[in-house]
Amino acid sequence: MFYRWPTATRLTVCLLALVCASCGKKYAAITLAGSTAFQPFAEKLAEEFMAQRSGVAITVQGGGSAVGIQSALSGVAQIGMADLVQLPPEAKELTSIVVARDGIAIIVNPANPIKDLSTVQVREIFEGKIGNWKDVGGTDKLITVVSREAGSGTRMSFEQLIGGIQLTRNAIIQDSSGTIRETVANDANAIGYLTHGVISQKVKPVTVDGVECTTAVIMASQYKLVRPVFFLTKGPATGAAKEFIDYVLSPEGQEIIKKNGLIPAQ
Amino acid sequence: MKFDRETNVQRLLLVIALSAITSLLLIAVFIFKEGVPFILQVGLRNFLLSSDWRPHAGKFGIYPMIVASLWVTFGAMLIGAPLGVAGAIFLNEFVPRTVMRVIKPTIELLAGIPSVVFGFIGVVVLAPLIRAHLGGPGLSVLAAAIVLGIMVLPTIISISTDAIAAVPQTYREGALALGATRWQAVHMVVVKAARSGIVASIILAMGRAVGETMAVIMVAGNAAKVPHSPLDSAQTLTATIALEMASATGMHRQALFATGVVLFVVIMVLNSIATVAVRRRIGKNSKR
Amino acid sequence: MRIPPKYTQMAAVALLGLATAVTLVVLLFIIVFVLDKGLPVVSWRFLFTNPQNMGRAGGIFPTLVGTVLLPLLAIAIAMPLGVGTAVYLTEYTRETQVTRVIRFGTDCLAGIPSIIFGLFGFIFFVVMLGFGWSLLSGGLTLAIMILPTIIRTSEEAIRAVPTSYREVSFSLGATRWETVIKVVLPNALPGIVTGVMLGIGRSISETAAVIFTAGSSLRLPHSAFDSVRTMAVHFYILAREGLSNENAYGTAAVLIVAVLMINLTAYWLMHRFIERRTK
């Protein structure tokens, strides 16, 4: 009988069935939302957690650190993820736990002979005061500065840690670590920064004041450009959310974080 | 009985039309509600004419973005509209129907490709080409205009094609019977008859170009200054909103909504110009 | 001296042909580029397994599901609304200032950046109405986004139907509604389908609006209140965070093939419908 109805009616019935099928959720559901840089890590951790513990359904959303804070505040998400050096004032009411740390690496094109830059040089390049590679010992070419957008956690952390930068107006702005990597990989005169977990062969990291940006060095607290990743909850975490956070902080969870390119909380 | 159903149907359609319009109005209200108070507070002239965009220091001048958006959009239409309309005319009038049956779905296929893919290809293929052959950082107004122009092609071609195909065959036959060549029939009769559809496609495409975010962010470079040449990096109004909205609070956030208001106004102005231009041309060439 | 029309025709056709060739070459280049980089990654496993290891390995199955369900929902909402509005504006009202304003308004809304729709959807559907990140929030937001396109193209298509058709129908005693259903709409169908195709295309390729409303969950949806991830969003995340360019291209390749199949199916359905009617 179903097949005799006109297509439009059949379609509508199917859709209605889909909508109504939401009854009977037999499992605890947690939603995480926020930092897009940490989202893949959270998904991986959720994957492992759900493999071990049945009856819990974890959904991970992105949107950025600010969305993470807002979602935690409004209750749309049980856990907000934010990767900022300092949490903004509206996050004061939330309970925050550091679950990982992230190193920010400065990268140039592999064809660029420069291997090391001092903090002062980095600041002056990004401010536009040094405009040519030859002023820092490289070839006679104009520097193309590439940066993240104004609200990026990575950028805010970078600027704070380098020491208060006023970014030059000529800087090219890209909206994610991946595209910064592509931009620097394709432009011999570019310099940029990104989270060290996504460095690939296509770009070359430079040492800052002689210090490399690797996991070992960061864990020894010797590299300067490091920022924390926070999990935010409204009040102390309870129930399934607490179990998940405990898992993330456990040695197994931290090992997963380390294996995939981020740095354990400590 | 039939009459009752007629009035019921009419009422139902009215409800449908109203709900459609209402939802669209909701969005407009949403943007204006957040943005207008900000504009009143900061002052329209300051907002529109200052070149200083430093939200953390309380400076909100979007002049560079307005210039960038206009350049990128016009560039895109300069590339997309002639190619698109020419393509639509050629495919409809001078190409066998069977070939058309294959080409049209292929072109519409491109409407389904995410803007991020276009943007990505732009970063990986187009920007290096521009940098190597024309100079500048590659990520520029020109790159954005080209990518956008290509992105709006499917819209223009599909809708223009439909408009041209809808012109009754009798028009063409009449022109040919009067001794016109096929080209004369096309450009003197068919295109004029399909004019409203073609303009609709260009308007829709222009709207799409002005409002495009993802692809533009990836290839325009987003430098916050007024572009002085197509090879300069620039930041459009949409890019500003998309880049900073996720983390903006307070006045900064309102400023971004105000930018949305400006976008809305820019689109309204562009659309009015296009509509008036069409109406005037029709009036000039016909005795209606 | 006037150039003979024969030569202007040759010149014109050559120019038009050139423009078309340029267009086709560029468009084909994009398709070939993506397929070339992406198809090597695609396999049955790729299509039907879940992403693993943050998208670096494994497949994209959940995103396939999301890419099918979300645009479907959006069209199911937008098409009746859009076509109904277009019918009402053209058949049931006269050309007044009001209709002109409405048309103008819809055109303008076509230009609002998708991120604003996304924000609106987030604040209205996800938070205020409490739907959360879900198919429903995403579908409703996308429906509003594609509404202007569908209204405009349907309107143009309906207006293109010659008045004589309607007059003949009336003279045979049909009511306005019967005329619309049996005469106007079937003849306007190709144009309406174009609008629907463009709308589907837009829904499938949207990223900003979808992320803010339907979310980006990798789990299979059990109801309309579950979050989904579409292939476009998946590509965006993979490329953006620099996790796996190969898989990103693979996703894009699958996307292109999927859109092609959807478009071809829609055309086939439309032709069958027309053929059945003209028998």
Q: What is the DSSP track for B202-215?
A: HHHHHHHHHH--HH
CATH of the domain at A61: 3.40.190.10
Answer yes or no: do A107 and A213 share one domain.
yes
Residues of chain C numbered 156-215 and touching chain B (CB < 8 Å): 156-157, 159-160, 162, 175-177, 190-191, 194, 197-198, 200-202, 204-208
List of chains touching A (3+ CB pairs within 8 A): B, C
A237 pLDDT exceeds 90?
Answer: no
pLDDT, greater one: C245 or B243:
B243
Mean pLDDT, rounded, for A54-77: 82
Q: Find out whether C125 and C213 touch, Cβ atoms under 8 Å.
A: yes
Q: Find out whether B72 and B144 touch, Cβ atoms under 8 Å.
A: yes
Lowest mean per-residue pLDDT among A26-35, B141-150, B279-288, C116-125: B279-288
Is the residue at A185 inside a domain?
A: yes
Which pLDDT belongs to residue A23? Answer: 46
Highest mean predicted confidence (pLDDT) among A133-147, B89-103, C240-254: A133-147
Beta bridge partners of residue A96, listed in sequence order: A232
A218 pLDDT exceeds 80?
Answer: no
Lowest mean per-residue pLDDT among B73-87, B116-130, C83-97: C83-97
Which pLDDT belongs to residue C48? Answer: 77
Bridge pairing between strands A79-82 and A226-233: antiparallel
Lowest mean per-residue pLDDT among B117-131, B214-228, C100-114, C124-138: C100-114
CB atoms within 10 A of CB A21: 14
Q: Looking at the 3D structure of chain A, how many domains does it have?
A: 2
Interface residue C35 vs chain A (CB under 8 A): no
Name which of B273, B265, B217 is nearest B44 in CA terms.
Answer: B265
Which pLDDT belongs to residue B77? Answer: 92
Q: Reduced to 3 states, what is the DSSP secondary structure of residue A180?
A: helix
A1 pLDDT exceeds 60?
Answer: no
CA distances A229 to A60, A232, C36, C67, Å, are 15, 10, 38, 31
- Residue B124 — very low, low, confident or very high, per pLDDT cuts 50/70/90? confident
Is the residue at A10 inside a domain?
A: no
A180 pLDDT exceeds 60?
Answer: yes
Highest mean predicted confidence (pLDDT) among A170-174, B70-74, B205-209, B281-285: B70-74
Answer yes or no: do A164 and A210 share one domain.
yes
The Cα–Cα gap between A22 and B120 comes to 37
State pLDDT tens for residues B31-71: 888 888 888 888 888 788 887 777 767 778 888 888 999 89
* Side chain identity at residue B283, one-letter code: G
Is the residue at B274 inside a domain?
A: yes
State pLDDT tens for residues A82-94: 888 777 787 888 8
Which pLDDT belongs to residue B75? Answer: 93
Q: Is the dihedral of CA B231, B237, B238, B244 positive or negative?
A: positive
Residue with tokens 């009035």: B7
Q: Do B246 and A171 touch (CB under 8 A)?
A: no
CB-defined contacts B:C, below 8 A: 272
Give me the percent of chain A exceeding a pLDDT of 90: 3
Q: Find out whether B194 and B163 touch, Cβ atoms under 8 Å.
A: yes
Q: Reduced to 3 states, what is the DSSP secondary structure of residue C49?
A: coil
Answer yes or no: do A206 and A116 share one domain.
yes
Q: Reduced to 3 states, what is the DSSP secondary structure of residue A30?
A: strand
- Residue B150 — very low, low, confident or very high, per pLDDT cuts 50/70/90? very high
Answer yes or no: do A86 and A126 share one domain.
no
The Cα–Cα gap between C275 and B190 comes to 27
Answer yes or no: do A246 and A172 share one domain.
no
- Residue B147 — very low, low, confident or very high, per pLDDT cuts 50/70/90? very high
CA A174 from chain centre, in angstroms, equals 14
Interface residue C269 vs chain B (CB under 8 A): no
CA C83 from chain centre, in angstroms, equals 14
CATH of the domain at B253: 1.10.3720.10
B198 pLDDT exceeds 50?
Answer: yes
Is the residue at A246 inside a domain?
A: yes
Burial A79-115 (b: 16+ CB within 10 A, else e): bbbbbbbebeeebeebebbebbbbbbbbbbbeebebe
Q: Reduced to 3 states, what is the DSSP secondary structure of residue B68?
A: helix
Domain housing B280: 63-285
Q: Which two tokens stand for residue A234?
A: 């409204």
Which pLDDT belongs to residue A10? Answer: 61
Q: Find out whether B150 and B203 touch, Cβ atoms under 8 Å.
A: no
Is the residue at A232 inside a domain?
A: yes
Q: Looking at the 3D structure of chain B, how many domains does it have?
A: 1
Which pLDDT belongs to residue C55? Answer: 62
Give B62's contacts (C-beta < 8 A, 6+ positions apart): B47, B48, B50, B53, B237, B240, B259, B262
B286 pLDDT exceeds 50?
Answer: no
Give C147's contacts (C-beta < 8 A, 6+ positions apart): B20, B23, B24, C78, C81, C82, C85, C106, C109
Q: Do C76 and A12 touch (CB under 8 A)?
A: yes
Q: Nearest CA of chain C to the CA of B225: how many Å?
A: 21
Bridge pairing between strands A56-63 and A172-173: unpaired
Give me the percent of chain B exceeding a pLDDT of 90: 9
Answer yes or no: do A209 and A116 share one domain.
yes
* Side chain identity at residue B265, one-letter code: V
Q: Find out whether A30 and A56 touch, Cβ atoms under 8 Å.
A: yes
Is the residue at B55 inside a domain?
A: no
Q: Which two tokens stand for residue A80?
A: 């907000």
Characterise C42 by phi-psi region: left (phi > 0), alpha (psi -120 to 50), beta (else).
Answer: beta
Which pLDDT belongs to residue C97? Answer: 77
Beta bridge partners of residue A103, listed in sequence order: A226
Give C84's contacts (C-beta < 8 A, 6+ positions apart): B12, B13, B16, B17, B20
Which pLDDT belongs to residue C53? Answer: 64
Highest mean predicted confidence (pLDDT) among B108-112, B269-273, C120-124: C120-124
Alpha helices in chain C (DSSP H): 5-38, 44-48, 61-87, 97-109, 114-121, 135-160, 163-171, 176-179, 185-205, 208-213, 231-240, 245-278
Which pLDDT belongs to residue B185? Answer: 83
Q: Which two tokens stand for residue C13?
A: 């056709």
Q: Choose, out of C50, C60, C238, C241, the residue to mutate when testing the contact with A (most A CBs < 10 Å).
A: C241
Is the residue at A33 inside a domain?
A: yes
Bridge pairing between strands B59-60 and B53-54: antiparallel
Answer yes or no: do A54 and A122 share one domain.
no
Is the residue at B6 inside a domain?
A: no
Interface residue C6 vs chain B (CB under 8 A): yes
Q: Is the dihedral of CA C244, C35, B146, C232 positive or negative?
A: negative
A105 pLDDT exceeds 50?
Answer: yes
Query: Closest partner residue to C114 among B19, B206, B213, by Cβ?
Result: B213
Give pLDDT tens digits along chain C (279 positions): 677 878 888 888 888 888 888 888 888 898 888 888 888 877 777 777 777 766 666 677 888 888 888 988 999 999 988 898 888 888 777 777 777 777 777 777 777 778 888 888 888 888 788 788 888 999 999 999 898 889 888 888 888 888 888 889 889 888 888 888 888 888 888 888 888 888 888 888 888 888 888 887 877 888 878 888 888 888 888 877 666 677 888 888 888 888 778 777 777 777 777 777 665
CA distances B163 to B55, B107, B198, C67, Å, are 46, 16, 6, 30
Answer yes or no: do A96 and A65 share one domain.
yes
Answer yes or no: do A256 and A152 share one domain.
no
Domain housing A83: 28-102+228-264
CB atoms within 10 A of CB C254: 26
Q: Find out whether C137 and C68 touch, Cβ atoms under 8 Å.
A: no
Name which of C93, C47, C77, C79 is nearest C189 in CA terms.
Answer: C79
Interface residue C40 vs chain B (CB under 8 A): no
Is the residue at A251 inside a domain?
A: yes
